[in-house]
Every structure is written in C-alpha cells, then in structure tokens.
Amino acid sequence: MKKYLFITILSAILITLASCNSLDVNPIGSLTGANFPKTDADAIALVNGAYVDISEISTYTSYLTDLPSDEEQCGEAVISAGAPIGTYDHTPSNVMIYMGWTYLYQGVTTANDVIDQLSASTTISSAIKARTINEAKFLRALYYFSIVQYWGDAPLVLHSTDSKTPVRATVDELYTQIVTDLTDATALPATYSTSTDLGRATQGAANALLAKAYITWAQTGASADAPVRYQKSIDAANKVTGYSLTNDFLDNWDTSKKNNYTENIFKASHTISQFYSGDGFNHLCHCSFVTGFSQETPHLIVSDPAQFYDNWDSRDQRKGGSYAKYLYNPNTNSVFTFNVPRYRKYIDTLNINTSATTRSIDRTIIRYADVLLTKAEAINELSGPTTEAYTSINQVRRRAYKKTIDSQHLAADAFDYKNLTQTQFRDSLQKESLHEFTYEQQRWFNLVRWKILLKTVKAVASKAPNTEAYTQVRKKSQIALKHYRFPIPQSERDVNPNLTQNYGWDGSTASAYDSSYQ
C-alpha cells in the first residue's frame, strides 16, 4: 500500500513539474514582432526610436566635421582617439570614425524597420501611419546625407531583409534615395500642436534638407546635372515658409527656449537623463567647456584665434555668439577672460557650472539662416548674384549686425552685400557661412563640397604661430587629397568583403580625385 502511495505522490510531483515547465517561454521585458506594433501609440514609440541616433551621434559630429577643417583643433592629448582627426593622422581603425559610421547606419536601419513594420500594419490609423512613416523617411534621408558626405559611395540599405554584405552604392544612387525620401517627407505636418511633439520632423525640415541635399549633389555630382539640381535646391528652399531669423543670434541655443522653432527648423534633442542619469549627452557642450573658467585647454577649441577671431568685426553679433572671449562667472561675480576664446553656442549660461556635464542644449541640424544661404548660393551658382540672391544673403547679414544697426540707428542695409561679381558673391557667401555656422558641424562638409579643403586648411596651418599651443594646427599641413573622404572603417571592411576602400587609404585601389579638388 505504502509503495503505491509513494508512486502516486511521485507521479503527482512529476506531472505538476512537467506541466508547468512548458518550453514556450514568453520574453520578459520586451515585445516580440507578433504583438508589436499594433496601435497608434506603438507606431509613435517605434518612430521615436529612429530619432535616438541623431542625439547619440552628437558626440562624434564635431570630431568628424569641424576638427578636420581649418578652424578647429583638439585640446586632448595626442594619444586620444579624436586628436588625430584634427591633424589628419587618423586611420581606418579610428574609433571616432567607426562610431560615426555605427550611429549613422543604426539610424538608417532603425528607420528602415519603422517603415517596414508600419507599412505592413493593418491596425494603425492611416493618418498616424502616413506621418510616422514619413518621419522615418526624413530621418533615413538625414542619416544618408551624412553618410554620403563622409564616405561618398556607401551601402544603400532600405529593408531589414537586405543583404548583410552590401556593396557600395554610388553617390548618385544615394542622393536619388535621399531626395525620394525627402520628397515623400514633405507631406509631413508643417507644425505640431502638442508640446511633446515639438521637435519631430516637419514639412519645413524636409524642404530645408532637400534644398541642402540638392545643392550638395549639384556641387559634387556630374557638372552636366548641376543646373537642374541648383534649381531644385532653390525650389525646395522657397517652400520653407513660416520661419524667420531670431533677433538674438544666441536664442537658438538657449535652453530656456528649446520649444522656440522660429529659426531652428530641425534639431537633435538633448534632454537631461536622455542616455545617462543627469546628462543630456550633447558632447558639444562638454568638449567646448570641460575646463570651465580656467585657462586649461578644453577638448575642442578654435585653431588660431588670430585668423578666426581677432579679425572678425566686433559689430557682428555672431562673433560674441560664436566665441566666448569674456564670460560672466557667477561663482566669482566677475567676468572671466579666456586667453583663447571658447566656442560659445554650446555653453549653457543658464546652468553655467554644469554646462559641461548636463549637456542639454539641443544640437542644431538645420536653421532658417542655412536655408537662406543655401538659396543664395544656389542662385549665384545657377545665374549669378540676382536680387533674390542678395535678398537672401543680406537677410542673414542684417540679423548679424542688427544690434549695431539698431543701437547706432544705421540704415537697415548698412552692412548689405552689393554689386558683387559671381566670384565675389561666392567668396562672400563662403565667408558668411563660416561666420554663421562656427562649431555647427558644417565646416568640413562645406569645404569638401566647395572643393577647397586642401588649400584652405594648408593656408591656415601655414599661418599658425610657431608656439606650443599651435602644434596641432601646424600639423594640419599634413592634409592630403585622401582627406576629401573618410576611410571606410577597417572593422566594417573585415566583415563585409564587398566594401572597397576610399582613395588614398590603406587597402584602396580607387583612383585619385580629379584636379577640381583643391
């Protein structure tokens, strides 16, 4: 009897354990493709993921787009990962370049996933579906626009099912996709009504980016196609409406005016604790002001103040808005004078003591001044300095000198550009662009599309003082033709044998750039 009792108990335990231990285990803490995305809220949360990389990449943007130009140098030790980019000592194994590639392609594939998943959905409302897909297309175009400028030919991945070892698509193929996506994205809302949607891609952002993409394509693509692309750039710029220039230049980076989209058209958001506790993760804030009120060199700093600061007309509010030579220090209740001016835009004067650590100023991606200058440039390239071109460039110019004009009661056109040849207009525009976009991650892109990278950098390097502080600036004279593109990261080529290397870099078989690249 006891025997059967025992066997019965044992069987009961066994059956109980066996039945509760099914091999079908549902993941804890994450959703699977079977149950996500289903609702409008899901669609929005999914597309939010595609915005993550524009914030995460902020760390790398200045190292990749200002540092290898004429106007910035690195204050870090030579042994850091960033410093070699400033002296053109970087190699295909450089971590900054690898991380840039990583975040851009992560952004692309996240956007692809949004488009694939939401397109297949039958439960999400058509309005939200259309909007979120277009947001993703805008973001995908934004990521590819950086990719094509950094690396030229590059893999064009559009679906999560695409090849794991893609070949490099041509620059033209990439731009074709960029303008297709941006054209679709122009169907986005012009504005958003709720505050928590402010910052999403808009119709204006799509048109503004389209204008920039077309002008860049015009300048770097086949010259025969250039006129059409300049015209399309102008057309797109004309469609950017509802924006104006702020009277106060620095309002664009004021943390108390994050929701002010007067001039800012599209920004990367940086909100406290977005990635780490207490940190907005905008490295531009950190790198320009990490040494605070001291004379120690921060990580990123102007290459040579004599060439970029001292000779800048002080009546231009962008000088003080771009460089902090003097800054009020609330701790000592006095004005601190820096021996070498600091980049001003990403110093958070409302939270000055934590500016380098909370890093919560939104990173400008496109603002209206950019659209105006793009339009002026496209017109000048297409048909010389027309009235419309002057109107555009002088709008930027008048805001720059607005405080001087107002305080000294000058005529509104006192600082206007007038009566320039096409070449003079071009030179003026390039100078205006330098002044307008200091430390806004544009300089290297602009020098590349203008094809004046080598000569511009070499000129600055040769004029740098022969003192210790300018060692890295003088080393900029090492720049070579290959620096018109970044190398494809070595580790990526290791796992994708289909990736060729850019001209001049280790393992490349590509031919040199033509003589138009100076």
Binders in 395-454 for another protein, by CB under 8 A = none
**Which of 39, 48, 183, 518 forms a contact with another protein (CB under 8 A)?**
48
**Which of 65, 133, 138, 155 forms a contact with another protein (CB under 8 A)?**
155
Please list every residue from 291 through 310 that binds another protein, using CB under 8 A: 291-294, 296-297
Cβ proximity to another protein: between 157 and 182 the closer is 157
Residue 269 phi/psi, 5-degree rounding, is -75, 140
Write each residue from 490 to 509 as x if it is in contact with another protein (CB under 8 A), else as -, in one continuous string: xxx-xxx--x-----xxx--
Name the segment binding another protein (CB under 8 A); options: 26-34, 129-137, 180-188, 301-309: 26-34
Name the segment binding another protein (CB under 8 A); options: 158-166, 226-234, 396-404, 510-518: 158-166
Q: Smallest distance, Å, CB 465 to another protein? A: 11
Name the segment binding another protein (CB under 8 A); options: 34-42, 120-128, 213-221, 453-461: 34-42
Query: H or E stretch including 343?
Result: strand 334-343
Q: Count residues near another protein (CB under 8 A).
A: 111
Q: Smallest distance, Å, CB 317 to another protein? A: 26
Q: Smallest distance, Å, CB 345 to another protein? A: 18
Cβ proximity to another protein: between 200 and 375 the closer is 200
Q: Smallest distance, Å, CB 144 to another protein? A: 12
Name the one residue in this structure whose structure tokens are 């995460």: 56
| CA proximity to 147, closest of 133, 160, 157, 161 | 157
* Paired strand residues for 366: 266
Cβ proximity to another protein: between 276 and 313 the closer is 276
Please list every residue from 66 through 105 that binds another protein, using CB under 8 A: 75-81, 83-84, 89, 91-95, 98-99, 101-102, 105
Distance CA 498, CA 104 (A): 19
* Paired strand residues for 337: 326
Residue 295 phi/psi, 5-degree rounding, is -90, 0
Distance CA 132, CA 185 (A): 10
Q: Are strands 300-302 and 264-268 parallel, antiparallel or unpaired?
A: unpaired
Cβ proximity to another protein: between 6 and 326 the closer is 6
| CA proximity to 62, closest of 353, 381, 426, 359 | 359
Cβ proximity to another protein: between 126 and 196 the closer is 196
Taking CA atoms, 302 is separated from 68, 231, 287, 305, 381, in Å, by 12, 35, 12, 6, 30
411-432: buried (b, 16+ CB within 10 Å) or exposed (e) per residue?
Answer: eeeebebeebeeeebbebbbeb
| CA proximity to 66, closest of 503, 429, 437 | 437
Distance CA 504, CA 181 (A): 32
Under the binding rule (CB under 8 A), the answer on residue 514 touching another protein is no
Under the binding rule (CB under 8 A), the answer on residue 478 touching another protein is yes
Please list every residue from 339 through 398 that binds another protein, using CB under 8 A: 354, 356-358
Q: Smallest distance, Å, CB 365 to another protein? A: 14
| CA proximity to 486, closest of 109, 104, 160 | 104
Q: DSSP character for 88?
A: T
Under the binding rule (CB under 8 A), the answer on residue 274 touching another protein is yes
Query: H or E stretch including 252?
Result: none
Q: Smallest distance, Å, CB 248 to another protein? A: 20
Under the binding rule (CB under 8 A), the answer on residue 317 touching another protein is no
**Which of 1, 33, 223, 514 forms a contact with another protein (CB under 8 A)?**
33
Strands (E), 100-253: 154-155, 168-169
Please list every residue from 170 through 229 that binds another protein, using CB under 8 A: 195-200
**Which of 148, 157, 237, 327 forms a contact with another protein (CB under 8 A)?**
157
Distance CA 484, CA 499 (A): 18
Distance of CA 173 to the CA centre of its chain: 21
Cβ proximity to another protein: between 224 and 480 the closer is 480
Under the binding rule (CB under 8 A), the answer on residue 335 touching another protein is no
Under the binding rule (CB under 8 A), the answer on residue 512 touching another protein is no
